[in-house]
């Protein structure tokens, strides 16, 4: 009766199709969502991508839990794994002045995850981690560390590939962008930052006409002039990574910038403090990777289109 070749393209009962899709790893699930309208509607309606997109309990630990000279660091990358991991990282020692500021070694360290929400990782022995930390410190002593890109006590921005546990310190945040970040506070830049609400006296949160979202390639680029002498004494917070571009988000005082790792380009994104917050301590201090699979969900109320 049915044409044999096209058999599988015949409509399946939703429940049967969900049983198939629910078995897919997140990348294949995202691909399946693009196959046709019916599949997309089903993936969205059953919220199959949500568990992949959201960290289950992102703020499980606080700094108080650990020794004061360590910083717990939570790592989550939905593209690599639906699980997050917590790293306990010793504070970067006081910055030694390199003889020649341009001579910055690139160093690779490795350490173990402290624990994660993945059970297979949860069995990690804490003592072992501390040992690893000591090794890390020893290594720091042996080879002079690269100058911390952010003030001592703040963890330099680096990408942590969960698959290998190695991270590479390859970002020189100091030479160009600290200064550029400083400069931007005196400058009006046209851009857009989702967290900015209301107006704070200027109109720089208005997107250029025709833009519906931030363009990471062209919008709000800040230029740094090497000849000028900038001075920066402000604290820079590391907010998070872009999920799939080589971009990190940093906060300089209360201003958020995107920093392109490959090109050292800096983009102004806006203020991180909402006017609703009473105190300065309630701003945004960290961020999780932006999760594109939620866009559709947030943007519209999912009209239940019937597909033929």
Partner 1 sequence: MAAPESGDGNNGAARMVTLISSDNTRFEVEAAAASLSQTLQLTILDGGGGGGDGIPLPNVDSATLSKVLEYCIKHAPAAANGGAPNATAVDRAELERFDNEFVNIDQSVLYSLIMAAHNLEIEGLQSLVAKKVADMIKGKSPMEIRRTLGFPDPTPEEQAEMNAHMLEYGWAYE
Give the interface with partner 1 as residue ranges (CB under 8 A). Answer: 2, 4-10, 12-13, 15-16, 19-28, 30-37, 40, 79, 243-244, 292-293, 295-296
3-class SS of residue 282: helix
Nearest distance, CB of residue 151 and partner 1, angstroms: 32
Cα–Cα separations (whole angstroms), residue 299 to 84, 105, 145, 212, 245: 26, 45, 45, 12, 22
Q: Which is nearer to partner 1, 23 or 300 (CB)?
A: 23
Nearest distance, CB of residue 121 and partner 1, angstroms: 23
Nearest distance, CB of residue 292 and partner 1, angstroms: 6
Nearest distance, CB of residue 95 and partner 1, angstroms: 35
Quickly count: other Cβ atoms within 10 Å of residue 204's Cβ: 19
Nearest distance, CB of residue 30 and partner 1, angstroms: 4
Report the run of H or E that residue 292 belongs to, with start and end: none
Sorted by sequence, the CB contacts under 8 Å of residue 43 that are 6+ apart come out as: 21, 29, 32, 33, 49
Q: Give the side-chain half-sphere CA count within 13 A for 278.
A: 0
Q: Which is nearer to partner 1, 6 or 280 (CB)?
A: 6
Q: Which is nearer to partner 1, 20 or 302 (CB)?
A: 20
Q: Which is nearer to partner 1, 12 or 129 (CB)?
A: 12
Q: Which is nearer to partner 1, 53 or 251 (CB)?
A: 53
Q: How many residues make up the chain in this entry?
A: 308
3-class SS of residue 74: strand
Both structure tokens of 300: 């519209």
Q: Please state, in angstroms and rounded to a whole number, the distance separating the CA atoms of residues 37 and 250.
A: 38
Q: Which is nearer to partner 1, 31 or 235 (CB)?
A: 31
Q: Please state, in angstroms and rounded to a whole number, the distance separating the CA atoms of residues 175 and 167.
A: 21
Nearest distance, CB of residue 156 and partner 1, angstroms: 24
């Amino acid at each position: 009766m049915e044409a044999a070749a096209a058999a599988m393209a015949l409509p399946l009962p939703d429940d049967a199709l969900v049983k198939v899709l629910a078995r897919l790893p997140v990348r294949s699930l995202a691909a399946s969502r693009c196959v046709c309208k019916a599949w997309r509607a089903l993936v969205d309606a059953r919220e199959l991508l949500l568990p992949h997109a959201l960290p289950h309990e992102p703020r499980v630990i606080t700094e108080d839990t650990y020794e004061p000279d360590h910083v717990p660091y939570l790592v989550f990358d939905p593209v690599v794994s639906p699980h997050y991991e917590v790293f306990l990282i010793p504070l970067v020692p006081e910055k030694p002045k390199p003889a020649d500021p341009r001579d910055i070694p690139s160093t690779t360290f490795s350490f173990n995850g402290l624990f994660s929400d993945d059970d297979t990782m949860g069995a990690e022995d804490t003592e072992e981690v501390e040992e690893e930390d000591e090794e890390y410190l020893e290594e720091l002593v042996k080879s002079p560390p690269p100058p911390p890109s952010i003030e001592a006590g703040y963890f330099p921005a680096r990408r942590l590939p969960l698959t290998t546990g190695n991270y590479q310190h390859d970002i020189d945040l100091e030479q160009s962008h600290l200064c550029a970040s400083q400069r931007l506070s005196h400058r009006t830049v046209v851009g857009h930052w989702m967290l900015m609400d209301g107006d704070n006296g200027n109109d720089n949160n208005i997107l250029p006409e025709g833009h519906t979202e931030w363009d990471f390639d062209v919008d709000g680029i800040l230029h740094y002039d090497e000849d000028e002498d900038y001075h920066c004494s402000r604290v820079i917070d590391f907010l998070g990574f872009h999920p799939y571009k080589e971009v990190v988000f940093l906060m300089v005082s209360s201003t958020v910038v995107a920093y392109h790792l490959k090109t050292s380009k800096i983009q102004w994104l806006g203020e991180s403090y909402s006017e609703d917050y009473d105190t300065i301590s309630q701003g945004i201090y960290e961020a999780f990777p932006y999760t594109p699979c939620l866009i559709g969900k947030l943007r519209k109320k999912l009209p239940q289109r019937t597909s033929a």
